[in-house]
Chain A
Amino acid sequence: MEPILNVKNLTMTFGGLKALDNVNIAIEKGQIAALIGPNGAGKTTFFNCITGIYEPSKGQVTITPPGKSSQTLKGLKPNQVTERGLARTFQNIRLFQGMTVLENVMIGRHCRMNAGIFGAMIRPKSQKSEEKKATYASYEILEKIGLEKYVNEMAVNLPYGAQRRLEIARALATDPFLLLLDEPAAGMNPQETKELDDLIIWLRDNEDLSILLIEHDMKLVMSLSDRIHVVDYGKKIAEGTPKEVKSNPEVIKAYLGDDSDDA
């Protein structure tokens, strides 16, 4: 079977700096994969290249949504990538602060809705039911993530852990087949991290999702991932199961000193 995400020879240069150098990563359907590496290794750049925020200097990104044929993401704008079924969260939380929690999730539904200018102004029956459906769908997502008590709160007023979960809820609302999580556990306390761990596994098992996450919390990564990809200085240095990666000398060298106590 084709991997649902296949990245080949991805290279990204900023001026003279090679942030990513010939990176190859493939994600299988139903997998929870992790992308790890020391700070500044190019992990977030990798996400930005895939989701169309940066245009990669070289390389191919191909997706194969379940039940559909393969297609390339070359030259697509971020919103087009999302329409194709990739959704992401951000390392530094980027919620829409002027909107309620529910509305934040409804933004995720945007690309699955059709109302245009006249639809919005005149609001015929079809739009009304579409709007209603989107509202309920968004509420259901909030229930799944466990944020339904905050429905009408302003997003900015949420506690930190809830904001991170809301980012995931918002991404889920776009109906993705692959979820890209950028440091979802950053800044969370152990209790919140534990809940996140459960949530990610639940999403994979019940929502038919594949997940690629960037994470620094090695305990979480090792317990969660089916497969781990390690990058350092923009190059991929290792790939394998948590066990294999843990004992890989290259990886140990890359991490020596900084994160060894976590690993």
Chain B
Amino acid sequence: MRWIYITIGVAITGVLGFLGIREVVSDPVYFLELLLGGLTRGSIYALIALGYTMVYGIIQLINFAHGEIYMIGAMTALIVASVLGLWGWNAGVIAILAVVFAVVYSCAYGFTVEKIAYKPLRNAPRLSALISAIGMSLFLQNYVMLAQTPEFMPFRSLIPDFAFWEPYAHIMSSVELTIIVTTVIVMVLLGILIKFTRIGKAMRATAQDKVMAALLGINVNQVISTTFVVGSATAAIGGVLIACHVGQINFFIGFLAGLKAFIAAVLGGIGSIPGAVLGSLVLGISESFFTGYFWSEYEDVFAFSILVIILIFRPSGILGKHEAQKV
């Protein structure tokens, strides 16, 4: 049985590899565009996937409402930018304020969602917390839809076209460049937070063993809240960036983006932060090639297929560790 799977896998990889090389040779610019497009896409996934993976690492919950936090980030940015734009403020100030508001509000929502829907269920069966998370996701989507509009709303990019980037803009736009650079900066900052700060150490300790961490005087509730807040902040940044990139948003954008990011987190190994980044980049780039060279309408099918394959053959993901069952 195993050999059949391996043979099929090798055959598919071989065929794809062959087709890929042929395509690269015939049109290298298109290939480069797809690669950079995939990198951009992967960066956005990474910004969202971080929240999933951090929360999962600490309370072993798939935070279903995380995609909604990302959507709320984008939505807040749009609202703030619109209001300030109408008042005739300077574009640079608007951009900064929009991002600040998006981040602050997403964090506040993430914090509140945890307090309402997850904290009371911390000792409940996992299924209960997961259902509560689904309920929260449903609620937030409909809340934004009813308060604003079900239609797509155009989003004017907050990022100007950089003059110095003009010569390369035909391969990669300024927005895409900003997305990739921002993601790198966020990742570095996050790495510093987790590795070197007090709260970062507390987070790692809590992820390992909640009870022990509490015994050592770590305020576990506070650590969990912080995790939600940090995850929400990166998701909000992702939300604003993607809104600038795509140019329109609605209440539903968080659903699919959230799912994709979750897939990326699982692909990299859920609970592992480098894994989430790696998984996101792999997923983003392979999706970009798949849609660019094969069938764009089956993009989501491709992502889900990756998820199924990973979960069946390597449920711990690329960088994850196998967890032994406790008896």
Contact = CB atoms under 8 A, between A and B. Distances in A.
Interface of A: 14, 44, 48, 53, 90
Nearest to A14: B324
Interface in B46-98: none
A90 B327 CA distance: 8
Nearest to A90: B327
Contacts of B123: none
Contacts of B325: 53
A44 B324 contact: no
Nearest to B326: A92
Contacts, number: 6
B125 to A, nearest CB: 10
Interface size class of B (residues with CB under 8 A): under 10
B327 A53 contact: yes
A154 to B, nearest CB: 16
A44 B326 CA distance: 11
Interface in B286-324: 324
B18 to A, nearest CB: 39
Contacts of A53: 325, 327
A48 B327 contact: yes
Contacts of B327: 44, 48, 53, 90
Nearest to A45: B327
A204 to B, nearest CB: 26
6 contacts: A14-B324, A44-B327, A48-B327, A53-B325, A53-B327, A90-B327
A14 B327 CA distance: 14
B8 to A, nearest CB: 25
A14 B324 CA distance: 9
Interface in B120-166: none
B170 to A, nearest CB: 52
Contacts of A44: 327
A240 B325 CA distance: 33
A53 B327 CA distance: 9
B326 to A, nearest CB: 9
Contacts of B324: 14
A97 to B, nearest CB: 10
A187 B29 CA distance: 72
Closest 4 CB pairs of A and B: A48-B327, A53-B327, A14-B324, A44-B327
A81 to B, nearest CB: 14
A48 B327 CA distance: 8
Nearest to B324: A14
Contacts of A14: 324
A50 to B, nearest CB: 12
Nearest to B322: A15
A41 to B, nearest CB: 16
A53 B326 CA distance: 10
Contacts of A48: 327
Interface in B192-236: none
A14 B321 CA distance: 13
A171 B152 CA distance: 60
Nearest to A94: B327
A44 B327 CA distance: 9
A139 B100 CA distance: 67
B83 to A, nearest CB: 52
A167 to B, nearest CB: 14
B189 to A, nearest CB: 33
A158 B325 CA distance: 27
